[in-house]
C-alpha cells in the first residue's frame, strides 16, 4: 500500500472527524480583597473557566506535505498532540465558557468577565447568566486568538456585582495553577519604626511559580508627593535592601513593577514566604511613609503598640514599643518582633495568654537580639497549635516586657489584627456629671472587632469594692445617657467588672462607640448615680 494512499486515507478520516479538541481549565477564587479598591466582605465565590481549542483538520496535517516523504507529517502530528503548551492556528475555533458559584452572596445583580490585570479595573468582556439556583453561567462563546492570549496571560478577571456593592463585591483574577495571587495593605504602622500618617495603600500582585514573573501594582492615597517606591527584602518588623524599583503609573498614586519583571528562584521563594515588602517614600518620610508586607492568603498580619496603659493594672511609664507579627496557617509558624524604647534594662519579654484587661501565663519566651537590646523576637521555628492560634486571632494574647522596676511588666501590647480597635482609658470621679470627689479610680480596657461587631470590655477598680453595679452607657464626655450593656462583676475578684460573653453591637451603636460616644460608670451605695466614670476612647 503506497504512502500516498495512506496519507489520503488519513486526510479523509480527519475530514470526517472534523477536529481535535484541547481544553484549558482555570479555577478562580473570588474575594473582596481583589476588588480595586478592596471591599471588606467575608463573602466568597468560586468559578471554573474553560477555554476550548477546537483544532481544524488542516491544523492536524501539514499542507506542504510531500507525498514522497512522510517525515514532515510525522513531525507535525507529534507536535500537535504531544506539546503541553496550547497551540492554535488561524483555522482553529476558540470558545470560552464558565460556571460561577454565588451561593455565599446575596442580592447579586450581575457578574461579568472583565479585561484587566491584577490591581486594574477594566471594561466588561462577557456577561454571566443567572441560573437562579446559586450559580451563574457563561455559555460557550467564540473568542479571538488575541482574547485567548490575554486570558492565558492573566489579564482577565471575574467581578460579581451586588446591591450593596454595585461596582463589585468579590473579584477573582483568572490565572493558571502556577500563579499565586497576593493582596496586601500599606500603612504607616508597618514601617519600622511606625510612622503616624494619614496615607495608606493597597497592593495587588501575581507571581508565576514556574518562571518567577511578578506583576505588582500599588495604589496609594494621600501620598501623591511620593518620590519613590520599591520592593524591599525583609520580613515583618525588618528593614532591608531594594529588590525592584517600582515605576509610577499613569494615574497619580499608582506604582507598579516594570514590564516583564522576573525574580530569581531564591528571591521568589522568599517572597512567597513573606520575606519582602513594598515601601513608599515621601519628602516628609524619606525612609518610608507607608509600607506593606507582601503576604499570600496563608498569612495573617498583626501590628500592635506596647505601652504602660495596657498593663493590668496600668503602669505610668514613658517607655513604649511597636510589635509586628505574621502567622502562616499552612506551616503554623509564628514570626513576632518587638521594638522597644525606654526599657533597655528589660530582663525578659514573653507572649502571654490573656484577652485585653486580663493577665495570663507565658506561651512563648521571646529572645533579645544580641546586637540590639531594644529588639525581642520569637525563636526560629516557633509554631502554634490550633487552639492557641484560634485564641491568638481572636485577640487573646499579649506581649509583656518585664523590667527590674516593673517585674510584672512595664509595657504591654495586645496582639491584634487590623479587624480590632483597641481602647484603654482611666476611670475617676472627675469624669462624672456632675463630678464626684472620691479617691476611687480604675483602669479600663476594651477591644472591638469591626468585622464581627463583638465588644470585649473590662475594668479594674480600686476604692469601690462596695460597688453594686457597673454599665456601659451612651453619652459623650460631659453627658449622661442610658445603659447600653450591663457589666458582670468577677466572682473571683470584686474589683473587676467585664462584659458578658458575646456582646455584639448593632451598626448604629458600633459607630457611636467608635466616635467616643460611650462611657463606663461604676455605681456605689454612696454614689448611686456613679462614683467613677471612664470615657471609652
* Res 88: pLDDT: 66
Are residues 106 and 93 part of one domain?
A: yes
**Structural domain contains residue 63:** no
Mean predicted lDDT score pLDDT of the chain? 92
- DSSP for 399-424 reads EEEE-SS-TT-SEEEE--BTTEEEEE
Distance, in Å, from the CA atom of 300 to the CA atom of 295, rounded to the nearest integer, reads 8
* Res 232: pLDDT: 99
Are residues 465 and 341 part of one domain?
A: no
Q: Is the peptide bond before 193 cis (omega within 30 degrees of 0)?
A: yes
Q: Which residues form the domain of 52?
A: 20-56+89-174
Are residues 183 and 169 part of one domain?
A: no
Asked whether the predicted pLDDT for residue 166 surpasses 80, the reply is yes
DSSP one-letter code for 296: -
Are residues 468 and 387 part of one domain?
A: no
Residue for cell digits 493582596?
A: 183
Are residues 29 and 164 part of one domain?
A: yes
Element (H or E) spanning 356, and its range?
none
Are residues 397 and 284 part of one domain?
A: no
User: Which tens digit of pLDDT belongs to each residue from 209-222?
Assistant: 999 999 999 999 99
For residue 197, what is the domain's CATH number?
Answer: 2.60.40
Report, as an integer, the average pLDDT of 81-102.
Answer: 75
Report, as an integer, the average pLDDT of 432-443.
Answer: 98
**Structural domain contains residue 360:** yes
SS (H, E, C) 37-94: CCCCCCCCEEEEEEEEEEEEHHHHCCCCCECCECHHHHHHHHHHHHCCCCCCCCCCEE
Are residues 184 and 166 part of one domain?
A: no
**Structural domain contains residue 219:** yes
Are residues 161 and 208 part of one domain?
A: no
**Cβ-based neighbour number of residue 310 at 10 Å:** 24
Report, as an integer, the average pLDDT of 51-69.
Answer: 59
**Structural domain contains residue 267:** yes
Confidence of residue 84 (pLDDT cuts 50, 70, 90): very low
Percent of the chain with pLDDT over 70: 90
User: Which tens digit of pLDDT belongs to each residue from 323-370?
Assistant: 999 999 999 999 999 999 999 999 999 999 999 999 999 999 999 999
* Res 455: pLDDT: 97
> Which of 294, 328, 357 lies at the terminal end of a domain, its last residue?
294
> Which has the closest alpha carbon to 415: 312, 499, 300?
300
Q: How many domains, in total, are found in the chain?
A: 4
> Which of 174, 198, 217 lies at the terminal end of a domain, its last residue?
174
Are residues 449 and 403 part of one domain?
A: no
Are residues 234 and 134 part of one domain?
A: no
- DSSP for 477-506 reads TT----EEEEPEEPSS-TTEEEPPTTEE--
**Structural domain contains residue 477:** yes
> Which of 261, 294, 327 lies at the terminal end of a domain, its last residue?
294
> Which has the closest alpha carbon to 417: 303, 310, 324?
303
Are residues 477 and 337 part of one domain?
A: no
Asked whether the beta carbons of 98 and 128 are under 8 A apart, the reply is yes
Distance, in Å, from the CA atom of 51 to the CA atom of 94, rounded to the nearest integer, reads 7
> Which has the closest alpha carbon to 164: 337, 42, 325?
42
**Structural domain contains residue 25:** yes
Are residues 528 and 428 part of one domain?
A: yes
Amino acid at each position: 500500500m503506497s504512502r500516498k494512499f495512506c496519507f489520503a486515507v488519513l486526510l479523509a478520516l480527519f475530514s470526517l472527524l472534523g477536529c481535535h479538541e484541547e481544553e484549558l481549565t482555570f479555577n478562580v477564587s473570588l474575594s473582596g480583597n481583589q476588588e480595586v479598591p478592596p471591599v471588606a466582605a467575608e463573602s466568597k465565590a468560586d468559578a471554573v473557566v474553560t477555554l476550548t481549542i477546537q483544532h481544524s483538520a488542516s491544523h492536524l496535517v501539514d499542507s506542504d506535505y510531500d507525498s514522497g516523504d512522510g517525515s514532515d507529517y510525522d513531525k507535525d502530528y507529534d507536535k500537535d498532540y504531544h506539546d503541553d503548551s496550547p497551540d492554535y492556528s488561524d483555522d482553529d475555533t476558540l470558545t470560552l465558557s464558565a460556571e460561577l458559584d454565588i451561593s455565599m452572596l446575596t442580592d447579586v445583580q450581575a457578574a461579568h468577565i472583565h479585561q484587566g490585570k491584577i490591581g486594574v479595573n477594566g471594561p466588561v468582556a462577557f456577561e454571566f447568566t443567572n441560573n437562579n439556583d446559586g450559580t451563574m453561567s457563561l455559555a460557550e462563546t467564540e473568542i479571538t486568538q488575541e482574547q485567548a492570549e490575554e486570558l492565558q496571560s492573566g489579564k482577565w478577571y471575574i467581578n460579581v456585582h451586588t446591591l450593596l456593592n454595585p461596582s463589585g463585591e468579590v473579584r477573582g483574577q483568572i490565572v493558571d495553577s502556577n500563579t499565586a495571587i497576593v493582596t496586601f495593605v500599606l500603612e504607616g504602622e508597618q514601617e519600622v519604626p511606625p510612622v503616624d500618617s494619614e496615607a495608606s495603600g493597597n497592593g495587588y500582585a501575581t507571581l508565576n511559580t514556574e518562571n518567577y514573573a511578578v506583576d505588582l501594582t500599588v495604589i496609594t492615597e494621600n501620598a501623591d508627593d511620593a518620590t519613590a517606591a520599591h520592593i524591599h527584602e525583609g520580613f515583618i518588623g525588618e528593614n532591608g535592601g531594594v529588590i525592584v524599583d517600582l515605576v509610577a503609573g499613569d494615574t497619580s498614586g499608582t506604582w507598579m513593577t516594570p514590564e516583564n519583571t522576573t525574580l530569581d528562584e531564591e528571591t521568589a521563594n522568599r517572597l512567597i514566604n513573606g520575606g519582602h515588602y513594598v515601601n513608599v517614600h515621601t519628602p516628609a518620610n524619606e525612609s518610608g511613609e507607608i509600607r506593606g508586607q507582601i503576604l499570600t492568603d496563608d498569612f495573617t498580619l498583626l501590628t500592635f503598640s506596647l505601652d504602660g496603659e495596657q498593663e493590668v493594672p496600668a503602669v505610668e511609664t514613658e517607655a513604649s514599643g511597636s510589635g509586628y507579627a505574621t502567622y502562616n496557617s499552612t506551616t503554623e509558624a509564628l514570626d513576632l518582633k518587638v521594638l522597644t524604647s525606654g526599657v533597655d534594662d528589660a530582663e525578659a519579654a514573653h507572649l502571654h495568654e490573656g484577652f485585653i484587661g486580663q493577665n495570663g501565663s507565658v506561651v512563648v519566651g521571646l529572645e533579645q537580639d544580641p546586637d540590639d537590646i531594644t529588639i525581642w523576637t520569637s525563636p526560629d521555628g516557633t509554631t502554634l497549635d490550633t487552639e492557641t492560634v484560634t485564641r491568638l486571632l481572636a485577640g487573646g494574647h499579649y506581649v509583656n516586657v518585664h523590667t527590674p522596676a516593673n517585674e510584672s511588666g512595664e509595657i504591654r501590647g495586645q496582639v491584634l489584627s487590623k479587624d480590632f480597635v483597641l481602647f484603654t482609658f482611666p476611670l475617676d470621679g472627675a469624669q462624672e456629671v456632675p463630678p464626684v470627689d472620691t479617691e476611687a479610680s480604675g483602669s479600663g480596657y476594651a477591644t472591638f472587632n469591626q468585622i464581627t461587631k463583638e465588644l470585649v470590655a473590662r475594668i479594674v477598680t480600686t476604692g469601690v469594692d462596695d460597688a453594686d453595679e457597673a454599665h456601659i452607657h451612651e453619652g459623650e464626655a460631659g453627658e449622661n445617657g442610658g445603659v447600653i450593656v450591663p457589666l458582670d462583676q468577677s466572682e473571683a475578684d470584686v474589683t473587676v467588672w467585664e462584659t458578658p460573653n458575646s456582646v455584639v453591637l448593632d451598626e448604629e451603636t458600633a459607630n457611636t462607640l467608635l466616635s467616643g460616644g460611650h462611657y463606663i460608670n461604676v455605681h456605689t451605695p454612696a454614689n448611686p448615680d456613679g462614683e467613677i466614670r471612664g470615657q471609652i476612647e
